[in-house]
Structure 1
Amino acid sequence: MEHSKEVSQYVNNERKDKKSNTKKNERMSRRLVVEDDMGDINEMADAFIKNFRNQLKIQREESFKRFQEMINRGL
């Protein structure tokens, strides 16, 4: 009887290990996906910042042109 308890405990432990390994693998795959998404997020943030700076540059240039036109009209 004791031998069967040991065997059943061994089998139960193996099942638990398989379940925990499965859960662990799922967590690892989620982490990999999140890390991949983080790369995409960083690229998107960089693109946003670059676009924002370009828009500021364009606005400054347009403002300077309007200022120059205003000055030239006054002369």
Structure 2
Amino acid sequence: MDHQNELSGNGSHKVSSNMESNNRRKQLMGRQIILDYDTEDVNKMADAFIKSFRRQLKIEREESFKRSQDMISRGS
């Protein structure tokens, strides 16, 4: 007997709709797992970007300080 074509008393495909909803749940759960992995990757990339950005700011501040010290020493 083909369970997907079994009709309930009201004419709806009861077993078929249950299988569809189970498949839909599995797809959603699969997407959630993928999104969780993507979120971890995005967080790692964001952390790396922030670390690099802060490092670059520190280098620029040090260079600016050296330039200002050179200008002060030439002025005296």
TM-score tier (shorter): 0.7 to 0.9
Distance in 1, matches of 2:37 and 2:15, equals 32
1:46 is matched with: 47
- Kindly provide the CA deviation profile for residues 22-55 of structure 1, in whole angstroms up to 9, marking residues without a partner as x: 0110011011111110001111111111111011
Give the 5 Å matches for 1:13-52: 13-52=14-53
Partner SS, residue 8 of structure 1: coil
Amino acid at match of 1:26: Q
- Does the residue aligned with 1:9 lie in a helix, a strand or coil? coil
| Amino acid in the other structure paired with 2:37 | D
Quick one: which amino acid aligns to residue 45 of structure 2? M
Structure 2: how far apart are the matches of 1:29 and 1:13?
24
The residue type equivalent to 1:72 in the other structure is S
Higher relative contact order (CA closer than 8 Å, sequence separation 6+)? 2
In 2, the alpha carbon distance for the partners of 1:66 and 1:47 equals 29
Which residue of structure 1 aligns with residue 7 of structure 2?
8
Identity score, percent:
47
Name the structure where helix makes up a greater proportion of residues: 1
Poorly superposed stretches of 4+, deviation over 4 Å: none
